[in-house]
């Protein structure tokens, strides 16, 4: 059984690699721009096993003869995998710690650079977030009726130089090295490269931003990492909470 | 063919089985129809009429929806005729809790886009109601579809809710609208025979040139009528001259009325009532113009303030006494000095301690001044005041829950506030507060024997 699954995964990776190579093969063609979106699972922090998510979104655009590139990237991780990756509402109070890194200033976005297939460098902020969740349960049924969230933010490094490198075929690995903290690494969950704009707010990836995207994120409103409702991809402004800012970002792009 | 006959219990059993089968087969279908009655999104009212230069509003309503979590629609119109002013969220979706509402208006192309969703892991809302209200401004004459399109309804499980949408339609007519803007009289105090010049400003607020009449009045009597022609948006000042020869001394209210032009719908501003002028009498003449008690029901032992308005209609400055009465009993006498044509309000306080419960007539008398011949208006009688048990706010002879309720309804109010009710101000201190409630409570269930 395991062998069969492994074969299927290898086949999928092969197809994905092929499509990537094909896409890069067209890189000599004159495009208005190239957009990249990637997501990954963080598995290692230095020598420690951790769990977390990384997401990046970049563009290299030649608009009316003016070239500019930009990138957004964010990672959150924790040593408490069951808590960060939980899928059910909590039924008791808890406190847990996670870390979040956010790219705040991009200096380089490139393909085939510094030994990686894809590369982003820039300045990063890293914070430690201690979240305390207090649950309120129905005394009769024991069902969850309310949650109080308290979070404390402790800066770990600020405006530190960092590099995100992605290795594709055949490894599908990434590394995020930020000065002042240990190396983060893991595997690439998806890597999407297109010559049409990948809209940040197109949550369901149907090519347009509309009510469907808004509803998807609205349903996770006020979710934070550690709660079952938090989805990393929906945290569009990378503030470690699905909030009004994310909804506003989508709304601003509806119909655009 | 074999004949099947069912009798008695067999027939009942047969019918029961049939009913059961019917329920099993069609029950789910009926249930489905209950939920699946097609939802509709529509413009309400479906037909609107308005005039150039006016705002009008339409609602976008939803009906028969089940589990609505989020909605989106676009509405378009002829941009030459209309501009959207604003869009506001209706009450339907937020009846279930917090929502977030966004809209984008493009008046260049003539459309708007509106989105709204509930927030969090909550169910959708079912039923019928208003999703949004759109206010539009009419810029031009003509007709326009109010096209409701690209409507999306999403359920709490992120499924599309099937629905139908219905457009609206608008007819926009040119506007006929004239108005009286202001009335300014000069002088405002005259001797009989003197002329009063009244400047009336009128304006054509419509989209046609108009010819119409303006009539100036003192009280309900016509002073003069003039005709005027005004272009679109134009205004002018008409001067009316009121010759007061033969007019009795007194205070007169001035007004002006613009005749309604053909097709005019907004006629509320065709009439303007503004300003009082006084016609004096030759010689000495003082008068009491009014007597107003602070309230008409007073708890025994609590003071009542009575306001008396006195005026000098003569041509000389006068110093004279004004006396306030309850029935034939003097409350107080006060001395006032008034220049010609001026008036004042004098405050009297009636101490009701030891005054028997019952109804009293209040009045005031301005003592005649030397040389005064018209003394008919020196006395003014103004209704009755009831002296009751303190707390008997409604003067029904008992302090009961009805009185408490009247105080409670007006609780916290002061003169001028919407809830103000002076009879609930039991101690007469200008505010209805706990002290008034305490008075009523102390005397609760007391009654007139």
Domain ranges of chain A: 2-198, 201-256
Give the helix ranges, DSSP H, for A26-72.
none
Q: Which member of A211, A220, A248 has the closest CB to residue B152? A: A211
Confidence of residue B236 (pLDDT cuts 50, 70, 90): very high
Q: Which of B73, B87, B99, B120 to mutate to test the interface with A (most CBs of A within 10 A)?
A: B120
Which run of H or of E encompasses B361? strand B358-366
Tell me: pLDDT of B135 over 90.
yes
| Residue B113: strand, helix, or coil | strand
Is A255 in contact with B113 (Cβ distance < 8 A)?
A: yes
Q: How far apart are CA B188 and CA A69, in angstroms?
A: 77
pLDDT at position B416, please?
87
Is B102 in contact with A251 (Cβ distance < 8 A)?
A: yes
Closest by CA to B41, choosing from B130, B120, B138, is: B130
Average pLDDT across chain B, whole number = 90
Closest by CA to B103, choosing from B119, B121, B90, B120, is: B90
Hey, which residues does B217 pair with through a beta bridge? B222, B255
Q: Check: CB of residue A107 under 8 Å from CB of residue A83.
A: no
Tell me: pLDDT of B4 over 70.
no
Tell me: pLDDT of B33 over 70.
no
Domain ranges of chain B: 39-173, 178-279, 281-388, 391-449
Q: What's the fold here for domain B39-173?
A: Immunoglobulin-like (2.60.40)
Is B158 in contact with A210 (Cβ distance < 8 A)?
A: no
Confidence of residue B53 (pLDDT cuts 50, 70, 90): confident
Q: What is the rounded average pLDDT of the residues B66-76?
A: 96
Cα–Cα–Cα angle for A155, A160, A162, nearest 5°?
125
Q: How far apart are CA A246 and CA A234, in angstroms?
A: 7
Residues 118-137 (B) with a CB less than 8 A from some CB of A? 118-121
The chain A residue lying nearest B155, using CA atoms, is A215
Provide CB contacts within 8 A for A62, sequence distance 6+.
A31, A32, A33
Q: What's the fold here for domain B281-388?
A: Immunoglobulin-like (2.60.40)
Residues 92-121 (A) with a CB less than 8 A from some CB of B? none
Q: What is the rounded average pLDDT of the residues B218-247?
A: 95
Tell me: pLDDT of B26 over 60.
no
Q: How far apart are CA B123 and CA B301, in angstroms?
A: 61
Give the helix ranges, DSSP H, for chain A.
2-25, 81-84, 211-218, 244-253
Q: What's the fold here for domain B178-279?
A: Immunoglobulin-like (2.60.40)
Is B158 in contact with A212 (Cβ distance < 8 A)?
A: yes
pLDDT at position B298, please?
94
Q: What's the fold here for domain B391-449?
A: Type 1 dockerin domain (1.10.1330)
Beta strand pairing call for B39-44 and B163-166 = parallel
pLDDT at position B96, please?
80
pLDDT at position B449, please?
67
ipTM of the prediction: 0.76
**Chain B: nearest CA to A221, how far in angstroms?**
5
pLDDT at position B237, please?
97
Burial of B144 (0-12, 13-18, 19+ CB in 10 A): buried
Q: Which of B98, B103, B106, B119 to mutate to test the interface with A (most CBs of A within 10 A)?
A: B119
Is B158 in contact with A222 (Cβ distance < 8 A)?
A: no
Which run of H or of E encompasses B117? strand B111-118
Cβ neighbours of B390 (radius 10 Å): 21
pLDDT at position B30, please?
44
Cβ neighbours of B225 (radius 10 Å): 13
Q: Check: CB of residue B148 under 8 Å from CB of residue B46.
A: no
Confidence of residue B206 (pLDDT cuts 50, 70, 90): confident
Cβ neighbours of B98 (radius 10 Å): 14
**Chain A: nearest CA to B114, how far in angstroms?**
9
Give B120's contacts in chain A (Cβ within 8 Å): 218-222
pLDDT at position A25, please?
34
**Chain B: nearest CA to A215, how far in angstroms?**
6
Helices (H) and strands (E) in chain A — how many of each?
Answer: 4, 8
The chain B residue lying nearest A246, using CA atoms, is B100
pLDDT at position B13, please?
53
Q: Judge: domain A201-256, CATH 1.10.287.3510.
A: no
Question: Is A228 within 8 Å of chain B by CB?
Answer: no
Is B117 in contact with A244 (Cβ distance < 8 A)?
A: no
Q: Which of B67, B72, B156 to mutate to test the interface with A (most CBs of A within 10 A)?
A: B72
Is B115 in contact with A216 (Cβ distance < 8 A)?
A: no
- Which parts of chain A register pLDDT below 50? 1-29
Is A212 in contact with B100 (Cβ distance < 8 A)?
A: no
Q: How far apart are the first and last CA of chain B?
A: 95
Question: Is A251 within 8 Å of chain B by CB?
Answer: yes
Domain B178-279 and domain B281-388 have a common topology = yes
Torsion-angle region of B404 (φ positive above 0: left; ψ -120 to 50: alpha; else: beta): alpha
Question: Is A16 within 8 Å of chain B by CB?
Answer: no
Q: Check: CB of residue B420 under 8 Å from CB of residue B431.
A: no
The sheet carrying B297-299 orders its strands as B297-299, B379-388, B358-366, B318-326, B329-338
Q: Between the CA of residue A177 and those of A69, A77, A117, A186, what are the distances in Å?
A: 21, 14, 16, 12
DSSP class of B9: H
């Amino acid at each position: 059984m395991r062998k069969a699954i492994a074969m299927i995964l290898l086949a999928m990776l092969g197809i994905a690699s092929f499509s990537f190579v094909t896409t890069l093969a067209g890189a000599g063609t004159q495009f208005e721009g190239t957009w990249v979106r990637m997501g990954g699972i963080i598995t290692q922090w230095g020598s420690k096993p951790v769990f977390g998510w990384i997401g990046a979104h970049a563009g290299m655009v030649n608009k009316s003869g003016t070239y500019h590139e930009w990138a957004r990237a964010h990672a959150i991780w924790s040593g408490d995998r069951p808590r960060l990756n939980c899928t059910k509402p909590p039924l008791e109070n808890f406190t847990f710690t996670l870390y979040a890194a956010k790219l705040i200033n991009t200096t380089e976005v490139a393909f085939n650079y510094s030994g990686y297939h894809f590369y982003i460098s820039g300045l990063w902020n890293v914070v430690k977030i201690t979240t305390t969740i207090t649950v309120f349960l129905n005394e009769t049924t024991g069902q969850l009726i309310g949650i109080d969230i308290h979070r404390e933010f402790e800066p770990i490094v600020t405006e530190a130089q960092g590099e995100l490198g992605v290795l594709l075929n055949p490894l599908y690995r990434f590394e995020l090295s930020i000065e002042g903290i240990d190396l983060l690494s893991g595997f690439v969950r998806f890597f999407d490269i297109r010559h049409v704009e990948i809209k940040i707010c197109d949550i369901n990836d149907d090519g347009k931003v509309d009510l469907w995207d808004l509803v998807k994120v609205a349903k996770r409103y006020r979710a934070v990492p550690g709660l079952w409702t938090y989805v990393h991809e929906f945290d569009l402004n990378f503030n470690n909470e699905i909030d009004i800012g994310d909804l506003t970002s989508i709304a601003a792009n509806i119909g655009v | 063919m074999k004949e099947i006959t069912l009798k008695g219990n067999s027939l009942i059993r047969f019918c029961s089985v049939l009913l059961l089968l019917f329920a099993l087969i069609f029950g789910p279908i009926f249930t489905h129809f209950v939920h699946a009655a097609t939802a509709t999104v529509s413009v309400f009212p479906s037909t609107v009429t308005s005039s150039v230069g006016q705002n009008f509003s339409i609602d976008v309503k939803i009906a028969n929806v089940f589990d609505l979590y989020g909605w989106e629609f676009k509405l378009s119109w002829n941009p030459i005729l209309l501009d959207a002013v604003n869009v506001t969220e209706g009450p339907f979706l937020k009846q279930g809790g917090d929502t977030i509402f966004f809209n984008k208006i493009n008046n260049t192309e003539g459309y708007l886009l509106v989105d709204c969703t509930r927030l969090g892991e909550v169910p959708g809302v079912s039923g019928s109601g208003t999703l949004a209200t759109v206010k539009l401004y009419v810029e031009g004459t003509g007709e326009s579809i109010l096209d409701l399109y690209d409507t999306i309804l999403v359920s709490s499980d992120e499924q599309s809710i099937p629905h139908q949408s219905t457009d609206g339609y608008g007819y926009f007519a040119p506007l006929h609208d004239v108005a009286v803007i202001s009335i300014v009289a000069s002088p405002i105090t005259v001797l009989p025979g003197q002329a009063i010049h009244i400047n009336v400003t009128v304006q054509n607020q419509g989209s046609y040139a108009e010819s119409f009449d303006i009539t100036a009045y003192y009280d309900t009597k016509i002073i003069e009528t003039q005709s005027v022609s005004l272009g679109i948006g134009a205004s002018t000042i008409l001067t009316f001259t009121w010759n007061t020869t033969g007019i009795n001394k007194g205070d007169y209210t001035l007004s002006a009325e613009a005749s309604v032009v053909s097709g005019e719908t907004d006629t509320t501003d065709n009439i303007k009532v503004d300003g009082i002028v006084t016609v004096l009498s030759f010689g000495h003449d003082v008068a009491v113009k009014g007597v107003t008690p602070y309230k008409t029901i007073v708890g025994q032992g609590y003071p009542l303030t009575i306001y008396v308005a006195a005026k000098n209609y003569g041509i000389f400055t006068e110093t004279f006494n004004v006396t306030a009465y309850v029935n034939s009993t003097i409350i107080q006498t006060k001395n006032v000095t008034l220049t010609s044509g001026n008036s004042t309000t004098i405050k009297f306080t009636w101490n009701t301690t030891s005054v028997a419960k019952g109804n009293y007539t209040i009045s005031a008398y301005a003592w005649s001044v030397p040389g005064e011949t018209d003394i008919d208006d020196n006395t003014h009688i103004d209704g009755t005041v009831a002296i009751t048990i303190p707390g008997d706010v409604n003067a029904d002879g008992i302090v009961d829950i009805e009185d408490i309720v009247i105080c409670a309804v007006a609780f916290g109010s002061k003169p001028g506030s919407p809830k103000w009710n002076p009879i609930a101000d039991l101690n007469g201190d200008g505010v209805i507060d706990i002290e008034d409630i305490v008075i009523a409570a102390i005397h609760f269930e007391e009654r007139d024997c």
